[in-house]
Structure 1
Amino acid sequence: MPGWALGLTGLAALMAVVELAPRAGLVQERFLPPFSRMLSALADQAGTPEFWRALLETLRGWALGLAIAMAAGVLLGIVIGAVPPLRAVTTSTIEFLRPIPSVALIPLAVLLYGTQLRATLLLVVYASFWQVLVQVLYGVRDVDPVARETARSYRFGPLAQVRTVVWPTALPYVMTGFRLGASVALILEITGELVIGSPGLGRQIAVAQTSGAVAAMYALVIVVGLIGVTVNVIARATERRVLRWHPSIRGEAIA
């Protein structure tokens, strides 16, 4: 069977388990309703304007945070990576700040921005930024020294060196950072909405949970899962398109 068929088979098996387990009494329905009831709740949610507003708020926060993290991570990564003294000075700072969990910044975000979009945006940018920055630093470090010295011998300026030598080498790392950052940004967007109460699907999930609408809560969780799958597919498709010249991508196409 092709890979996509096996994937659909596994998904259908999961749906069947979720449908039959509560009906057979293995799980109480107030904790895990049948899958058909989740789909019915999802259809009800899709018919309300509040659902679509929450979906747009989530997508807007995710896209804006990822865009800021990509721009800052790529720019700083190239600048820091291209200047050895600057890289040596900032290494300890980066290694200190990078492991700090973004959720630890929730009290600070609430203190600064309350429950506004900017509070969740702070978490999204902070978490995604490190994914991009570290990958770009690896990419700049991977530049062939011979190519770099050749560009200098031809008296290429700094911008010309970045465009012709650094960027082609770092681009695969940039795309890896984009793919990782896109997933992390979505996780922190939903987490911020759940905990902080910013507008979006996360807050809708929290409201459904506190009001006892378990089926609606699971329906919204399914939507978040579908968004995650879509984000991953789009990120991989973008990576293949941007890096279609790269040997790894061409190898996948030939295979």
Structure 2
Amino acid sequence: MSPRRSLLGAVGVLGTVAVVEIVSRTGLVDATALPPASTILAEAGRLAADSEFLVDVVASLRTWAAGLLLAVAVAVPLGLLLGSVPVLDTAARALVELCRPIPSVALIPLATVLISSSTGATVAVVFYASLWPILINTLYALRDVDPVAKETLTSFGFGRLAVLWRVTLPSAAPFIATGVRISASVALLVTISTELLAGGFDGIGLFLTESQAGGGRPEIMLAVACWSGVLGLLINALLVGAERVAFRWNNAKVEGIA
């Protein structure tokens, strides 16, 4: 990220903090519903040293990672199969278009009934939510592969698997990685939402539930929301950095075109 974009982002964050502080301190918004930003940030700082909260954060990240990795393990091979075999792609298209608009949160009651473990139910819902961005990006990436490159390799006697390994996968990999990055954000949101609605023994969602039960202190809930946003920002930044390192050749090509 360029220094200018970083500066603008920092200005946006500081501006939001200032607006929340002003509207709460001046009484434009009830302070019991929206505490001052300074109070929220102080509570967020306290949570950073709260061992119970940190245990819940680790538990949520563990569930998030399990659901996301399972989605990658299923969506990428399935996308490669459907994208490489047109008959299968056509046969499965209606099912994909039918299933992917279903809100993952709507499946929480079903998951809790079918899976006795609360963690297992959360992983299942996260898997479902994360599956579709990766699968769709994989399918579109395969359709965007240069057909001339594939035909050239085929004309030199390379088989279908060799073409897939040498041309299709390298060309599609940046798009698949983008799908994984989108799914990572979706998975974190669904993890916390499922923990909040389905309950369990640990996790950020459970911490929020217990905070509400303990008197509904809004500064705690908003501080937890801030930390959830920070986690999402860090995950996205790590994945963007990994993409830049892994696909330097693609970045160079895009910059050359620009």
Give TM-score scaled by structure 2 length: 0.91
Superposition pairs of residues 94-105 of structure 1, within 5 angstroms? 94-105=96-107
Measure the CA separation in 2 of the matches of 1:184 and 1:221.
15
Moved more, 48-57 or 243-252: 243-252
Specify the alignment match of 2:222 in structure 1.
218
Counterpart among 192, 200, 203 of residue 206 in structure 2 = 203
User: How far apart are 1:117 and its partner, in Å?
Assistant: 1.1
Measure the CA separation in 2 of the matches of 1:173 and 1:196.
33
User: How far apart are 1:112 and its partner, in Å?
Assistant: 2.0
User: How far apart are 1:250 and its partner, in Å?
Assistant: 5.1
Specify the alignment match of 1:232 in structure 2.
236
Specify the alignment match of 2:4 in structure 1.
2
Measure the CA separation in 2 of the matches of 1:73 and 1:237.
22
User: How far apart are 1:113 and its partner, in Å?
Assistant: 2.4
Deviations 1:135-165 (A, max 9, x none): 1111112222232233333332333221112
- SS in structure 1 at match of 2:249: coil
- SS in structure 2 at match of 1:22: helix
Counterpart among 56, 62, 69 of residue 54 in structure 1 = 56
Measure the CA separation in 2 of the matches of 1:202 and 1:184.
15
Measure the CA separation in 2 of the matches of 1:151 and 1:13.
55
Give TM-score scaled by structure 1 length: 0.92
Measure the CA separation in 2 of the matches of 1:225 and 1:97.
28
User: How far apart are 1:248 and its partner, in Å?
Assistant: 6.1
Measure the CA separation in 2 of the matches of 1:53 and 1:208.
15
- SS in structure 1 at match of 2:148: helix
Q: CA RMSD in A?
A: 2.0
Residue ranges of structure 2 left out of the alignment (5+ in a row): none
Asked if 2 retains the 8 angstrom alpha-carbon contact of 1:115 and 1:197, the reply is: no
- SS in structure 1 at match of 2:29: coil
Specify the alignment match of 1:19 in structure 2.
21
- SS in structure 2 at match of 1:245: helix
Q: How many residues align?
A: 254
Structure 1's consecutive aligned runs of 4 or more residues displaced over 6 angstroms after TM superposition are: none
The percentage of counterpart residues that share the same residue type is: 41
Specify the alignment match of 2:250 in structure 1.
246
Asked if 2 retains the 8 angstrom alpha-carbon contact of 1:136 and 1:177, the reply is: yes
Cα 1:144–1:5 shift into 2, 3 Å: closer
Asked if 2 retains the 8 angstrom alpha-carbon contact of 1:74 and 1:136, the reply is: yes
Measure the CA separation in 1 of the matches of 2:19 and 2:143.
49
Measure the CA separation in 1 of the matches of 2:165 and 2:172.
10
Specify the alignment match of 1:163 in structure 2.
165
Cα 1:148–1:184 shift into 2, 3 Å: same
Measure the CA separation in 2 of the matches of 1:237 and 1:64.
21
User: How far apart are 1:23 and its partner, in Å?
Assistant: 1.6
Query: Residue type matched to 1:38 in 2?
Result: I
Measure the CA separation in 1 of the matches of 2:64 and 2:109.
20
Query: Residue type matched to 2:212 in 1?
Result: Q
User: How far apart are 1:20 and its partner, in Å?
Assistant: 2.2
User: How far apart are 1:72 and its partner, in Å?
Assistant: 1.0
